[in-house]
A and B are shown apart, each in its own frame.
Chain A
Amino acid sequence: MKRAGFAQPWLPMLLLLPQLTIIVIFFYWPALEAVRSSFYLEDPFGFGSSFVGLENYQILLESREYRRVALFTLFFTLCVTFFSLAIALLLAVKADKVLRGATSYKTLLMWVYAIAPPVAGLMGAMLVNHSNGMITHLFGAAGYEFRNGLNYSDTAFTMILVAIWKQIPVNFIFFLSGLQSIPVSLREAAKIDNKSGTSRFWTITFPLLAPTGFFLLITNITYALFDTFGIIDVVIKGEPGNNPLTLVYKVYVDGFRGNDLGGSSAQSVVLMVLVLALTVFQFRLIEKRIHYT
């Protein structure tokens, strides 16, 4: 087989140039800048900075508070990813079977997707308001005093709830289209062999949904880690206080609120490494084992 190629070696480079320029200016440069400033201790106004080597990283490793934030981020990400995927899958499977009014049903489920994270956070904050929030009342009726912003786990509950709710529609859309791409003939054949719907789902439908599911797993982890910033900011009303924070929010608190650029840069480098690991994991380990058709 003849390999297609360019006659001139500079032509492909020229064609790639616009894309490369954008990547270098907007992605590599800031990333390198973050790595550089993570080795420095800098005056907020930029009058002077001194090289401190790995000290900023060492402080992170020794900080009890940073560990606490990292642990919460792990818990938060697991909860948000698991529940938003599970609930969306359930809804998609059920919506797939709806015969009448299917379109309006699906549209209604997707609506939430259009809500901006801070607005979702604001709605969550209203639901858990101390004096007149509906969730506060609901817990109150069950005999539990729900105190958002005071009780660490109550605040965590609010954040996780809003983050899950906001992510369900995205997952729902993908799962639904995944389900609809499963050939009808395959489903009918399965129906002849096995009359239990649950068992058919786990042995036939679920494995066929795996590529979609895997893609969503990675996007949901990234969502929980990074895109929930707006929700968190509004739920805690911009006051870190004794509230659960995620790693990304901590970068903001130390860098933008506290003006500690070196420490904040070190934290963002940690996050970059985390994303890098996640990407390698995605391509190297899992993609090979998943069967795409």
Chain B
Amino acid sequence: MLARTTLLATATVFCGSVAFAETEITWWHAMGGQLGETVNQIAADFNASQDDVTITPIYKGSYEETLTAGIAAFRAGEQPNILQVFDAGAATVIAAQGATIPVADLLAENGGFDINDYIPGVRYFYADSDGKMIGMPFNSSTPIMYYNTQALEAAGVTAPKTWEEFQSVTAPALKEAGYEPLSQSHLPWIFTENFMSRHNLPFATNNNGYDGLDTQILVNNEAIRDHFTAAKSWIDDGLMGYYGSNWSDNAKPFEEGRTAMWLGSSGSFGGLMQKADFEFSATYLPYWEAVTTEPTQTFIGGASLFAMSGQSNEENAATAAFFNYLTSEEVQYMWHRETGYVPVTQAAYELAQTDGHYDRFPAAKIGVEQLSLASGDNTRGYRMGFYVQIRDVMNREYGRIFSGETSVEDAFNTIETEANELLSRFARTQGAG
């Protein structure tokens, strides 16, 4: 058996070297665990589907680590062909115009590109101020509310549509039924960025930062301060659990069935299907009726793929070929089905519908639907430099609100001041301001 395997391996290596025309490209990504396996599957399927290109996916750690590794490699001239960059890092990469090839240009030169093939919610988040797509939306998700069906039945309630309903009806009933009513996994993403888009509130000047570098954050408004005041009281009254700034620490109580509802990513769907041994479903992110009676869509989160510059034309063509494969409806549907990330193209969404995926798993549809809700002036996305640090400032101050070390008022003043300092600092690294 061993001898046969070795022989096979040798044969593979030999064949590989014979096919000299093959272009090799690399893809650095941040998809661990179940997601990483699906990424490897896509790469293997692509390699098997044609003979011209071999793509090698390499896991580089967390989103932050992957971005840093990509930047360091670029400076050393050793960048991969494709780099996965998360939402918060997009501004850094898009601002560095010589570092990447806009995906719209790359695909236009290699087979054609039409932005209208993509679903509305994902079109412009990774685009420049003129609406040209720079990064290709890959694992696109949005925060939604998962709920434990049994828990809600036991408490005799349905999933809340508004925070008012949660506060006065849902949460007390769930607490009565012996559950911790709610937890959430990412305060900057769910309770800040998407809080703004769900209520159509401006998040930054310059059209949420898309139209210039001299941007000021608009995080310190009454609606969000009230929201955090409410959240603090929910924690104090046992209506919400907070387990720190780590994603999975907050997801765990829901997966274990102790917490009835959890605000997570639509991309968490695949993992939850495996981990949860109870029936669960999902609904839209709640909104405050006191703030708006016409709630809007949320931002996409997750990450996109950037084609790094400085590669040969053959390699760029190979990258384009992979992007074309990746956005084909079958691959998008497979990615959507396995992980829960939204399909980024209209065609893939339609395929999922006709295949009956949403009849089998109604919760899988929530993310796409939420991204397709009514849009507003402030729902396209945001573009802010040094945003990874701004998120760290938010996490720090939110943690201090919840532990009682600071007041909501002081925390938001601090976030506003420090974020604006970081933004002007970033503007200056780009030679502006």
Closest A-chain residue to B74, C-beta based? Answer: A45
Q: Is A151 engaged at the interface, CB distance under 8 Å to the other chain?
A: yes
Closest Cβ of chain A to B419, distance in Å, is: 12
Contacts of B428 in A (CB 8 A): 41, 50
Q: Which of B242, B253, B397 contacts A150 (CB 8 A)?
A: B242
B395 & A242 in contact (Cβ 8 Å cutoff): yes
C-alpha gap A269/B263 in the complex (Å): 42
Closest A-chain residue to B71, C-beta based? Answer: A44
Q: Is A212 engaged at the interface, CB distance under 8 Å to the other chain?
A: no
Contacts of A150 in B (CB 8 A): 242-244, 399, 402-403
Q: Which of A47, A49, A239 contacts B246 (CB 8 A)?
A: A239
User: Interface size (A, Cβ < 8 Å)?
Assistant: 33
Contacts of A50 in B (CB 8 A): 428, 431
Contacts of A152 in B (CB 8 A): 403, 405
C-alpha gap A258/B402 in the complex (Å): 25
Known interface pairs A45-B99, A47-B96, A149-B244. Does A242 touch B396 (Cβ–Cβ under 8 Å)?
Answer: yes
B386 & A43 in contact (Cβ 8 Å cutoff): no
Q: Is A139 engaged at the interface, CB distance under 8 Å to the other chain?
A: no
Q: Is B430 engaged at the interface, CB distance under 8 Å to the other chain?
A: yes
Contacts of A42 in B (CB 8 A): 429
Contacts of A243 in B (CB 8 A): 399
B425 & A44 in contact (Cβ 8 Å cutoff): no
Closest A-chain residue to B258, C-beta based? Answer: A131
Q: Which of A29-85 contact B (CB under 8 A)?
A: 41-50, 65
Q: Is B98 engaged at the interface, CB distance under 8 Å to the other chain?
A: yes
Interface of A is mostly: loop
Closest Cβ of chain B to A128, distance in Å, is: 11
Q: Is A254 engaged at the interface, CB distance under 8 Å to the other chain?
A: yes
Q: Is B237 engaged at the interface, CB distance under 8 Å to the other chain?
A: no
Interface range for B? 35 or more
Known interface pairs A150-B399, A152-B405, A242-B399. Does A259 touch B244 (Cβ–Cβ under 8 Å)?
Answer: no
Q: Is A191 engaged at the interface, CB distance under 8 Å to the other chain?
A: no
Contacts of A259 in B (CB 8 A): 67-68, 71, 92, 386, 388
Most buried by B among A131, A242, A253, A263: A242
Q: Which of B199-249 contact A (CB under 8 A)?
A: 242-246, 249
Q: Is A130 engaged at the interface, CB distance under 8 Å to the other chain?
A: yes
Contacts of A241 in B (CB 8 A): 244-246, 392, 395-396, 399
A256 & B68 in contact (Cβ 8 Å cutoff): yes
B243 & A47 in contact (Cβ 8 Å cutoff): no
Closest Cβ of chain A to B28, distance in Å, is: 15
Closest Cβ of chain A to B424, distance in Å, is: 11
Closest A-chain residue to B399, C-beta based? Answer: A242
Q: Is A187 engaged at the interface, CB distance under 8 Å to the other chain?
A: no
Q: Which of A65, A239, A254 contacts B395 (CB 8 A)?
A: A239
Contacts of B67 in A (CB 8 A): 259
C-alpha gap A41/B427 in the complex (Å): 11
C-alpha gap A148/B403 in the complex (Å): 12
Contacts of B252 in A (CB 8 A): 131
C-alpha gap A45/B92 in the complex (Å): 9
A253 & B392 in contact (Cβ 8 Å cutoff): yes
B98 & A239 in contact (Cβ 8 Å cutoff): no
Contacts of B360 in A (CB 8 A): none
Closest Cβ of chain B to A212, distance in Å, is: 40
Contacts of A49 in B (CB 8 A): 429
Q: Is B400 engaged at the interface, CB distance under 8 Å to the other chain?
A: yes
C-alpha gap A148/B249 in the complex (Å): 11
A44 & B402 in contact (Cβ 8 Å cutoff): no
B429 & A149 in contact (Cβ 8 Å cutoff): no
Known interface pairs A50-B428, A237-B246, A260-B386. Does A44 touch B92 (Cβ–Cβ under 8 Å)?
Answer: yes
Closest Cβ of chain B to A250, distance in Å, is: 11
C-alpha gap A243/B395 in the complex (Å): 10
C-alpha gap A36/B9 in the complex (Å): 50
Q: Is A12 engaged at the interface, CB distance under 8 Å to the other chain?
A: no
Contacts of A239 in B (CB 8 A): 244-246, 395
Contacts of A47 in B (CB 8 A): 96, 98-99
C-alpha gap A180/B232 in the complex (Å): 58
B395 & A240 in contact (Cβ 8 Å cutoff): yes
Q: Which of B88-110 contact A (CB under 8 A)?
A: 92, 95-96, 98-99
Known interface pairs A131-B252, A240-B395, A253-B392. Does A45 touch B244 (Cβ–Cβ under 8 Å)?
Answer: no
Q: Is B128 engaged at the interface, CB distance under 8 Å to the other chain?
A: no
C-alpha gap A241/B428 in the complex (Å): 26
Mark A residues whose CB is within 8 Å of B. Answer: 41-50, 65, 130-131, 148-152, 237-243, 253-254, 256-260, 263
**Which 4 residue pairs spanning A and B have beta carbons closest together?**
A242-B399, A241-B245, A149-B244, A45-B96
Assuming A149-B243, A150-B402, A237-B244, what are 14 further A-B pairs, CB within 8 angstroms?
A42-B429, A45-B71, A45-B74, A48-B429, A48-B431, A148-B244, A150-B242, A150-B243, A150-B403, A152-B405, A240-B396, A241-B245, A258-B388, A259-B386
Interface CB pairs A-B, < 8 A, 26: A41-B429, A44-B96, A45-B71, A45-B99, A46-B74, A47-B98, A47-B99, A48-B429, A49-B429, A65-B396, A65-B418, A149-B244, A149-B245, A238-B64, A239-B245, A240-B392, A240-B395, A242-B397, A242-B398, A253-B392, A257-B64, A258-B389, A259-B92, A260-B386, A260-B389, A263-B425
